[in-house]
Amino acid sequence: MRTPRHDTPGVEWSPSTEATAPMGPDRSQPEPYPQTCPACGGELGIDGYCLTCGQKARSLREHYELEPVSWLAGVCDIGQLHARNEDALMCAAQGDRAVVVVCDGVTTSQDSDLASMAAAKAACQVLWTNNPQGLGTPASRASAVAAVITQAVAAANEAVIDQTDPASPNSAATTIALAVIDGSTAYCANVGDSRVYWLPDEGEPQQMTKDHSLAQDGMDLGTGRAEAESSAMAHTITKWLGRDATDISPNMATLDIDIAGWLLVCSDGLWNYVSEAADLRSTVVPLVADQPTARQLAARLVDWANRAGGHDNITVACARLQGHDCDD
Amino acid sequence: MAIFTSMVYQNEFLADGSTDVNAIVRISCSEAGTAGQTGVGDVGEIVIVDTSASMGLVNLQAAKDAAMVAVDTILDGTYFAIVAGNHRPYLAYPRVTSGPGMVRMNPTSRAEAKRAIGSFRADGGTAMGSWLLLARSLFRSIPSLVGKHAILLTDGENHNESVPQLDASIRQCLGEFQADCRGIGVEWQVSEIRKIAQALLGTVDVIPSPRELPRVFHDLIARSMSRGVPDAQLRIWAPQGAQTLFVRQVSPTVEDLTHRAMPINPLTNAYPTGAWGDESRDYHISIRLAAKAVGTEQLAARVQLATGPSILTQGLVKAKWSADPGLTAQISAEVAHYTGQTELAAAIQEGLAAHSSGDDVTATQRLGRAVQLATQSGNEEAASKLGRVVDIADAATGTVRLKRDIDKADEMALDTASTRTTRIRG
Q: What is the 3-state secondary structure (H, E, C) of B48-83?
A: EEECCHHHHHHHHHHHHHHHHHHHHHCCCCCEEEEE
pLDDT at A11: 42
Mean pLDDT (chain A, rounded): 88
Supply the ipTM of this predicted assembly: 0.79
Which burial class, exposed, middle or buried, applies to A118 when counting CB atoms under 10 A from its CB (0-12, 13-18, 19+)?
buried
Strand (E) positions, B323-377? none
pLDDT tens digits, A38-62: 889 999 988 889 999 999 998 899 9
Q: Which of residues 24-43 of A touch B (CB under 8 A)?
A: 40
d(CA A18, CA A7): 28
Class of domain B3-32+233-329: mainly beta
B297/A52 touch (CB, cutoff 8 Å), yes or no: no
Residue B268: how many other CB atoms lie within 10 Å: 17
- Contacts of residue A62 in chain B, CB cutoff 8 Å? none
Overall pTM surpassing 0.90 (yes/no): no
Cis peptide before B89 (omega within 30 of 0): no
Q: Which amino acid is at A95?
A: G
Question: Does the beta carbon of B8 lie under 8 angstroms from any beta carbon of chain A?
Answer: no
Whether domain B42-225 has CATH 3.40.50.410: yes
Q: Which of residues 48-107 of A touch B (CB under 8 A)?
A: 49-56
Containing H/E element for B409? helix B408-417
Between residues A133 and B301, which one has the greater pLDDT?
Answer: B301
| DSSP-assigned letter for residue A312 | S
Residue B120 · residue B84 · CB < 8 Å: yes
Q: Which residues pair with B288 in a beta bridge?
A: B20, B243
pLDDT at B342: 96
User: What's the mean pLDDT in B206-217?
Assistant: 94
A50/B297 touch (CB, cutoff 8 Å), yes or no: no
d(CA B418, CA B382): 7
Question: Does the beta carbon of B324 lie under 8 angstroms from any beta carbon of chain A?
Answer: no
- Name which of B298, B313, B314, B317 to mutate to probe chain A: the one with the most chain A Cβ atoms within 10 A of its Cβ: B298
Containing H/E element for A236? none
Q: Which residues in chain B are classed under CATH 1.20.120.1690? A: 334-417
Question: Does the beta carbon of A47 lie under 8 angstroms from any beta carbon of chain B?
Answer: yes
pLDDT tens digits, A252-311: 999 999 999 999 999 999 999 999 999 999 999 999 999 999 999 999 999 999 999 999
A299 by DSSP, 3-state: which? helix
Question: Does the beta carbon of B97 lie under 8 angstroms from any beta carbon of chain A?
Answer: no
B127 by DSSP, 3-state: which? coil
Q: Which residues pair with A97 in a beta bridge?
A: A94, A182
Q: Which domains does chain A have, with CATH numbers?
A: 20-58 (no CATH), 63-321 (3.60.40.10)
Residue of chain B whose Cα is closest to the Cα of A37: B298
Instruction: List the end-to-end C-alpha distance of chain A, in Å, as a whole number.
Output: 9
CA B380, distance to chain mean position in Å, is 20
Q: How would you classify the pairing of strands B229-237 and B268-276?
A: antiparallel
* Percent of chain A's residues with pLDDT above 90: 70
Helices and strands (DSSP H and E) totals, chain B: 11, 20
The dihedral of CA A18, A19, A23, A29: what is its sign? positive
B297/A56 touch (CB, cutoff 8 Å), yes or no: yes
How much helix, strand and coil, in percent to the nearest 5, is found in chain B?
35, 35, 30
CATH for the stretch B334-417: 1.20.120.1690
B278 by DSSP, 3-state: which? coil
Residue A263 · residue A328 · CB < 8 Å: no
Q: How would you classify the pairing of strands B204-207 and B178-184?
A: parallel
Residue of chain A whose Cα is closest to the Cα of B266: A52
Q: Which residues pair with A227 in a beta bridge?
A: none
Residue A310 Cα, gap to closest chain B Cα (Å):
14
Mean pLDDT (chain B, rounded): 95
Residue A48 · residue A33 · CB < 8 Å: yes
CA distances (Å), origin B228, targets A278, B199, B282, B353: 73, 21, 19, 38
Q: Which residues in chain B are classed under CATH 3.40.50.410? A: 42-225
A115 by DSSP, 3-state: which? helix
User: What's the mean pLDDT in B166-181?
Assistant: 97
